[in-house]
């Protein structure tokens, strides 16, 4: 248990240097498109969903006593806001996937590593191919989230059990965000999404720590617009400092 919390703390710590890295003048240009996509989807989507749900729920809850009505509102808002934030965040990552891959490659270059996307002078056809690969990988991640998220959404609507729904969403969101952003540097280095899942299963404390820190960012208004590029940078830094060395050792062992 001590080792788990130690690894959790280490994973959590990648977010701050990632945020500082993204704010550098030579790096912010790679984060502009992800920030714009995230802002439009999150702000626009939550406002539209919020207005619709408010009108529907206000009509339904108007017959309840004020004290009970406030309690119900708190649970509904916390559960629905968390649920739709993760869903909209998934859509944002799908649309921004090619740009996130380029941002991850730029972070790797910044820390002194090379990958197949390191050459900024690649041709148009290769850029298109890389974009298709990024979007295909993103659909797999979104499908994985929906496969787990839909049963949890049903669980969230069951009276009594829904008291634990915010905690369940927090755990699921942390795990999915860690997969989301560790996958970008892995994909840039020729590995598929299952590699990220295997690593997350093996290093639960480290990956949940990273995902939890990013989940906090996604739930803070305005700050959540920056969560996507920070997550890409944090996942890439984790790959560089932890996973890359492990993969090099593994390949060296296999080549013997």
On the question of pLDDT at 252 being above 50, the answer is no
pLDDT confidence tier of residue 2, bands split at 50, 70 and 90: confident
Long-range contacts made by residues 106-111, C-beta under 8 angstroms, separation at least 24?
A: 106/27, 106/30, 107/21, 107/27, 107/185, 107/232, 107/233, 107/236, 107/237, 107/240, 108/185, 108/188, 108/236, 108/240, 110/21, 110/26, 110/27, 111/236, 111/237, 111/240
DSSP class per residue in 98-145: HHHHHHHHHHHHHTT---TT--TT--HHHHHHHHHHHHHHHHHHHHHH
Selection from 170, 184, 176 nearest residue 144 by Cα? 176
- Please state the domain count of the chain: 1
Torsion from C-alpha of 21, 22, 25, 31, nearest 10 degrees: 150
Domain range for 45 is 2-254
pLDDT in tens, 199-249: 777 888 888 999 999 988 887 878 888 999 999 999 999 998 888 777 655
The reported pLDDT for the residue numbered 148 is 76
The reported pLDDT for the residue numbered 67 is 66
pLDDT in tens, 126-181: 445 555 666 666 677 777 777 777 777 777 677 776 677 778 878 888 888 888 89
The reported pLDDT for the residue numbered 132 is 60
Residue 167, Cβ density class (10 Å: 0-12 exposed, 13-18 middle, ≥19 buried): exposed
The reported pLDDT for the residue numbered 251 is 47
Cα angle 211, 186, 128 (rounded to 5 degrees) comes to: 115
The reported pLDDT for the residue numbered 13 is 92
The reported pLDDT for the residue numbered 131 is 55
The reported pLDDT for the residue numbered 95 is 82
Read off the tokens for 113: 């590593």
The reported pLDDT for the residue numbered 230 is 94
pLDDT confidence tier of residue 82, bands split at 50, 70 and 90: low
Average pLDDT for 48-61: 70
Distances (CA, A) of 140 to 46, 143, 147, 177: 24, 5, 10, 13
Average pLDDT for 35-61: 76
Selection from 241, 120, 104, 108 nearest residue 180 by Cα? 104
The reported pLDDT for the residue numbered 123 is 44
123 or 177: which carries more pLDDT confidence?
177
Pair 211, 145: CB distance under 8 Å: no
Q: CA-to-CA distance for 181 and 211, rounded, in angstroms? A: 9
pLDDT confidence tier of residue 254, bands split at 50, 70 and 90: very low
On the question of pLDDT at 115 being above 60, the answer is no
The reported pLDDT for the residue numbered 17 is 93
């Amino acid at each position: 248990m001590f080792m788990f919390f130690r690894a959790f703390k280490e994973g959590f710590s990648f977010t701050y240097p990632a945020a500082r890295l993204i704010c550098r003048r030579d790096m912010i240009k790679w984060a502009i498109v992800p920030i714009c996509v995230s802002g439009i989807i999150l702000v626009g989507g939550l406002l539209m969903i919020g207005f619709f749900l408010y009108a529907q729920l206000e009509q339904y809850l108007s017959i309840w006593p004020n004290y009970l009505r406030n309690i119900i509102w708190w649970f509904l808002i916390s559960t629905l806001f968390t649920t739709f934030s993760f869903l909209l965040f998934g859509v944002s990552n799908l649309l921004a996937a090619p740009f996130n891959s380029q941002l991850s490659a730029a972070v790797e270059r910044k820390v002194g590593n090379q990958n197949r996307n390191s050459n900024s002078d690649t041709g148009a056809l290769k850029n298109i191919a890389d974009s298709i690969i990024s979007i295909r990988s993103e659909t797999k991640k979104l499908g994985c989230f929906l496969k787990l998220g839909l049963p949890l959404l049903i669980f969230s609507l069951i009276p009594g059990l829904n008291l634990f729904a915010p905690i369940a969403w927090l755990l699921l969101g942390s795990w999915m965000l860690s997969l989301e952003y560790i996958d970008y540097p892995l994909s840039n280095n020729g590995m598929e999404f299952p590699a990220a899942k295997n690593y997350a299963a093996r290093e639960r404390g480290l990956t949940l720590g990273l995902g939890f820190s990013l989940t906090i960012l996604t739930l803070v208004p305005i700050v959540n617009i920056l969560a996507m590029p920070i997550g890409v940078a944090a996942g890439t830094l984790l790959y560089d400092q932890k996973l890359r060395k492990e993969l090099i050792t593994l390949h060296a062992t296999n080549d013997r």
